[in-house]
Amino acid sequence: MRIVFAEPAKTPAGCVAVFAIPERSLLGYGAALDKATQGALKRAMAASRFAGKKGQILSIMAPNGLAADRVVVAGLGAAKEMTRRSAEGVGGALLADANNAGQKALSILVDAPSGSPLPAAELAARVALGLRLRSYRFDKYRTKEKPEQKPTVTSVTVYVPGAATARKHYAALEPIADSVFLTRDVVSEPPNVVYPESLAKRAKDLGKLGLKVEVLGEAQMRRLGMNALLGVGQGSRRESQMVVMRWDGGRRGEKPLAFIGKGVCFDTGGISLKPAGGMGDMKWDMAGSGAVIGIMRLLAARKARVNAVGLVGLVENMPDGNAQRPGDVVRSMSGQTIEITNTDAEGRLVLCDVMWYAQEKFDPRLMVEFSTLTGAIIVALGHERAGLFSNDTRLSTQLRDSGAKVGEKLWRMPLGSGYDEGIKSDIADMVNSAGREGSSILAAQFLKRFVQGNRPWAHIDIAGTAWSNKGDATTPKGATAYGVRLIDQFVADHYER
């Protein structure tokens, strides 16, 4: 889909979109079109439930007085409440509407309402970003589709005063869409295509953007004592990998921020085998690693002024004669021992070694980790928010606030020494699983044991937000790339100079 920006001229033909705010108040271009059609737009609004609220869409077919065969009025919501995120949602809604109507070209006439915190050029760029994000499709394996199932829009023209400024704004935003799409791609791929070695290769390819990428294989990890991670993958014919991605865009010698992702490329549950129903969804048990790969791509693509390191542990958890057994005891890289009580509680075993390696190797300023760790977080929070566990209130508040700006919401969950009883082992330092009660908290409490000293750390459980069965204005059904924009905003808000 081609997106271009142009100065307003005469009203274009085809499908034309204009904006309104609450109380059915058309903005300048909409008012001009209404006058040209002798009040057709206002009559259509009065005859409908359209009120100009955020996300509302109203279509007027072939109005007299215009060359346009369809005029769409999009609600912006209250001017003073407009945000970049809400503007993106308008763009996504307009694209979905145009595709549903079978339009090939879409023209958007952008003007900003009085009192808007977004000037027209920035509003136009954000609308365009929403269009682009909504346009994502993972269809590379489809060979037959009915025409009505295919998107139709191939070009979008955004008309706005100061088109050159809008174009510049949008150029700075394009790396967001490209990085989100990379994460959506790798999470959507089937497990016979994305597995530890192939995902490591995709990460390695990001070196062309200036990232320093290193891939560690099983022999190297064994020498490091990463037996918790290696135990998870020992039942698979695929070799486990750890990928380290570095971006040195900040001050020389300044400690990096560390972002860590769980990459279980397929999770059968191992010997503690999952039920068949829904097991196919376990291809996206690597969504945490997908998010970190997207994060590092975005920081590099936009030349972020920060030092950052992204680490992902990549494994397959498979049942096999050589697979890890319930009852096994493994010694992690930290030296702490873990009794395996459930081989389906494998993500924390991967993460604990990667977290320890990150601290030993890079001594980071903080660690933020993403993982589809527990189904229990979905029971607690549904699909609206990811669970946030942290030992640092300042870090958790920063993450929550940055996430709210981009629509990636977080809810802080408790930690505390009282939960340590739940992971006590009779024969080792801890167990990896202790049953259903408080299981998301116990998983986080387990990971906290691998944080050195008082280092700020956050664990974000994205089991309920990594994949969507319904989508939203800027995210089609499927992989969401949750975490990519959150961390980019977090870095921009608090750590770039």
Catalytic residue among 348, 400, 448, 485: 348
Q: How many beta carbons lie within 10 A of that of residue 173, not counting itself?
A: 19
| Coil vs helix vs strand at 96 | helix
Question: What six digits make up the tokens of 416?
Answer: 């505390």
Catalytic residue among 274, 305, 409, 412: 274
Active site residue 274: yes
Closest CA to 203 of 222, 224, 181, 186: 186
* CA gap 385, 407 in Å, rounded: 10
Question: What six digits make up the tokens of 409?
Answer: 């919401």
The angle subtended at Cα 353 by Cα 349 and Cα 354, nearest 5°, is: 110
Residue 368 in contact with residue 259, Cβ under 8 Å? Answer: yes
Locus of tokens 């070695």: 197
Q: Which amino acid is at 273?
A: L
* DSSP label of 387: E
Provide the residue count of the chain: 497
Closest CA to 129 of 165, 92, 181, 182: 92
Using only C-alpha atoms, the chain has a radius of gyration, in whole angstroms, of 25
Say how many CA atoms lie within 13 Å of 62 toward its Cβ. Answer: 0
Catalytic residue annotation: 274, 348
